[in-house]
Chain A
Amino acid sequence: MHKMHNTPLGRVFDVFNHIFLALLGLATFIPFVYVIAGSFATESEIAARPFFLIPETITTAAYDYIFSTTTFIRSIGVSVLVTVLGTLVSLLLTMTMAYPLSRKKLLGRNLILNLVVFTMVFNGGMIPTYMVVKSLGLLDSLWALILPVAINPFYLIIVKSFFQNLPSELEESAKIDGCSDMGVFWRIVIPLSKPVIATFTLFYAVFYWNDFFNALLYISDSAKWPVQLLLQQLMMVANMDFGEMDTMLADPPEESLKMAVVVVATVPILIFYPFLQKHFAKGILLGSVKG
């Protein structure tokens, strides 16, 4: 996309485009800056100023509290483990299932696809799923956070359609060269799908990172609680059930502490994206084959 000739209108568009996107970036990012600022601010400042980007007095008290015990560090460790393992399992299962389904002549394909689409809108609900997880002996195991949600049917359908758009000539020539379907999948399809893999790595990783509900249902051992569950503990106490808030035994968590936990629980997954971004560009390869 270099050295394109640019019309005056195009140049106006460029200027507008840059300004608009820069403003959008600011608008989306500034509230997070407020959260970061709040995590370093004193309670009285948070109460006194409705919104600020730099605290008047900077204090690390909230972080000192968070890191005064190993609890949060351990829970981040749990989250990282579940996210890495879960993303690997999910990608593997999604890719291996999506590829055969992208082959239109496969017998039984339509039945399977219909059954998959069905699960996107119909589900058994919390209690029956719990029963299955329990009967598989997964309770209190980190696998309970991964296996019941290993394939997202939405992602499966999207990956399948990505595969469908791959040029079939490639597969055919590979087959002529003596590759089996399995060989085509691992040696041709997977290498060509880097942007897809990068995208769904991100999607699954973010999903696993943000999930707290499955941990709430399936994990009793607090040593295996992910960081989002701790965040939930702190955020919910004060907000949802305000009227019934049980503050008699323990004071409600301080605002700065809540914000610090948000920062601690969010930043690891945030920095994951820029790292993945460069892999999106590698999809160029795919196009060059087409041409």
Chain B
Amino acid sequence: MSLLSMKSRKVKTNGPLDTNQLTKTQQLLKDKWLYVLLLPGIVYFVLFKYMPMWGVLMAFQDYSPFKGFWQSDWVGFDHFQYFFQNPDFFRLLRNTLILALYDLIFFFPAPIIIALMLNELRMQFFKRTIQTLVYVPHFMSWVIIASITYVFLTTSGGAVNAVVEYFTGEKINFLSSPDWFRPMIIGQVIWKETGWGTVIFLAALASVSPEQYEAAIMDGAGRFRRMWHVTLPALRSTIVILLILRLGNFLDQGFQQIFLMTNSLNRSVADVFDTYVYFVGITQGAFSYSTAVGLFKAIVGIILIYGADYLAKKLKQPGLF
């Protein structure tokens, strides 16, 4: 075991490059090819990410597309004030946070677990077939998934409710019950995206050498200890990075999915920021207001990203940087 941990530590340390002794100019010159490689990417970010960044300022305007940015009126923090004072704000925040937490707790680990399970399969054909099958739902649109969900879960002849009724004698209103809304949403996400999520972990596992496993076997490690001590550590940096990045979009939810699964009976738990912004922004054309809500979400996101990164570093985990 000590052998293994030594190895993984070795991987992370940087080479003994004595750049410290060089002046900045020397350093720039020395790394000139690296900057050449970097250049196209920087051009991209400047052009397509930072040039349009003025759009963020629409949050402080009453932006009118016809008048344009310069002619539109500035309103300061009006939109934010309106948003925070909205009687629905806390309900939206609560719903969004709970759903985001559910997502983190129940969905986030799912691809990792499935990747580990797939990794234990030794028949290559079986493994690849399953891998391909589980990733298929990623390509199905929410419209179709919502439709199929209805067919299975409805109380009027749905297959799932037939089974539930057979065992318990009662039907469950999955589709209309506020209690079932969140499990249903997370269930759909798990079904749709788990297979897709495994791809990146399987790629990370591909870089684990057979020798590491063999060494572990030599050490007398059993099946589960190998999983714990070899496979999982190989995924660690990927897991941490994906987790941090996920936090950046913590308050984002799949708008279309939630929109399709919302109805009059479960709306109290179903309304989240994204559906709210849709109605206010798209159907009611309030560009500036929806930009303001988006900005609020982004600020929360950036705080979470840096917070998580800081925490990761504290815990001696590889962070974002």
Residues of chain B within 8 A of A178, CB atoms compared: none
A154–B212 Cα distance when bound, in Å, is 29
Per-residue contact bits, chain B 260-298, to A (CB 8 Å; 1 contact, 0 not): 000000000000000000000000000100010011011
Residues of chain A within 8 A of B315, CB atoms compared: none
Residues of chain A within 8 A of B35, CB atoms compared: 100
Residues of chain A within 8 A of B81, CB atoms compared: none
* A210 part of interface (Cβ distance < 8 Å): yes
- Interface with A: B87-95, B99-107, B135-143, B163-171, which one? B135-143
Q: A106-B31, A288-B209 are in contact. Are A121 and B133 (CB under 8 A)?
A: no
Partner of A195, one of B17, B42, B48, B203: B203
* B75 part of interface (Cβ distance < 8 Å): no
| Smallest CB separation, A89 vs chain B (Å) | 10
Are A127 and B302 in touch, CB under 8 angstroms?
Answer: no
Residues of chain B within 8 A of A63, CB atoms compared: none
Residues of chain A within 8 A of B14, CB atoms compared: 104-105, 168
A17–B126 Cα distance when bound, in Å, is 12
Give the dominant DSSP class at A's interface: helix
Per-residue contact bits, chain B 227-249, to A (CB 8 Å; 1 contact, 0 not): 00000000001100110010011
Are B134 and A24 in touch, CB under 8 angstroms?
Answer: yes
* A199 part of interface (Cβ distance < 8 Å): yes
Of residues 21 through 67 on chain A, the ones whose CB sits less than 8 Å from some CB of chain B are 21-22, 24-29, 31-32, 34-35, 50-51
Closest to B118 in A: A21
A11–B221 Cα distance when bound, in Å, is 15
Are A122 and B148 in touch, CB under 8 angstroms?
Answer: no
A100–B41 Cα distance when bound, in Å, is 11
Give the dominant DSSP class at B's interface: helix
Q: A31-B140, A158-B238 are in contact. Are A280 and B210 (CB under 8 A)?
A: no
* A188 part of interface (Cβ distance < 8 Å): no
Residues of chain A within 8 A of B320, CB atoms compared: 113, 117, 157, 161
Are A21 and B130 in touch, CB under 8 angstroms?
Answer: yes
Q: A10-B223, A168-B14, A171-B15 are in contact. Are A288 and B211 (CB under 8 A)?
A: yes
A31–B15 Cα distance when bound, in Å, is 51
A155–B151 Cα distance when bound, in Å, is 37
Are B37 and A100 in touch, CB under 8 angstroms?
Answer: yes
Interface size class of A (residues with CB under 8 A): 35 or more
Are B139 and A270 in touch, CB under 8 angstroms?
Answer: yes
A13–B121 Cα distance when bound, in Å, is 11
| Smallest CB separation, A182 vs chain B (Å) | 4
Residues of chain B within 8 A of A273, CB atoms compared: 131-132, 135
| Smallest CB separation, A61 vs chain B (Å) | 20
Are A151 and B44 in touch, CB under 8 angstroms?
Answer: yes
Partner of B139, one of A2, A92, A210: A210
Partner of B223, one of A9, A94, A153, A270: A9
Of residues 134 through 154 on chain A, the ones whose CB sits less than 8 Å from some CB of chain B are 136, 147-151, 153-154
| Smallest CB separation, A100 vs chain B (Å) | 4
Q: A24-B114, A121-B301, A210-B139 are in contact. Are A287 and B129 (CB under 8 A)?
A: no
Closest to B13 in A: A168
* A115 part of interface (Cβ distance < 8 Å): yes
Residues of chain B within 8 A of A125, CB atoms compared: 52, 55-56, 58, 291, 294
Are B144 and A262 in touch, CB under 8 angstroms?
Answer: yes
Closest to B306 in A: A117
* B219 part of interface (Cβ distance < 8 Å): no
* A69 part of interface (Cβ distance < 8 Å): no
Closest to A29 in B: B133
Partner of A22, one of B45, B50, B130, B136: B130
Chain A residues in the interface with B (C-beta under 8 A): 1-2, 4-7, 9-10, 13-14, 17-18, 20-22, 24-29, 31-32, 34-35, 50-51, 92-94, 96-97, 99-101, 103-107, 110, 112-113, 115-125, 127-129, 131-132, 136, 147-151, 153-154, 156-158, 161, 164-165, 167-169, 171-172, 180-182, 185, 195-196, 198-199, 202-203, 206, 210, 231, 235, 239, 262, 266, 269-270, 273-274, 277, 280-284, 286-288, 290-291
Q: Identify 13 new A-B residue pairs, CB closer than 8 A, beyond the known A2-B122, A280-B206.
A: A17-B117, A29-B133, A31-B148, A35-B144, A110-B321, A132-B52, A151-B45, A172-B15, A182-B36, A198-B203, A266-B139, A270-B136, A287-B210
Chain B residues in the interface with A (C-beta under 8 A): 7, 10-15, 17, 19, 24, 27-28, 31, 33-38, 40-42, 44-45, 47-56, 58, 65, 114, 117-118, 120-122, 126, 128-141, 143-145, 148, 151-152, 157, 159, 191, 195, 199-200, 202-203, 206-213, 217, 222-224, 237-238, 241-242, 245, 248-249, 287, 291, 294-295, 297-298, 301-302, 305, 318, 320-321
12 inter-chain pairs at a CB distance below 8 angstroms, sorted by A residue, are: A1-B210, A9-B223, A32-B136, A51-B159, A127-B65, A149-B48, A156-B41, A195-B203, A270-B139, A273-B132, A277-B132, A284-B206
Top 6 nearest A-B pairs by Cβ distance? Answer: A287-B209, A97-B41, A124-B52, A124-B55, A128-B52, A283-B206
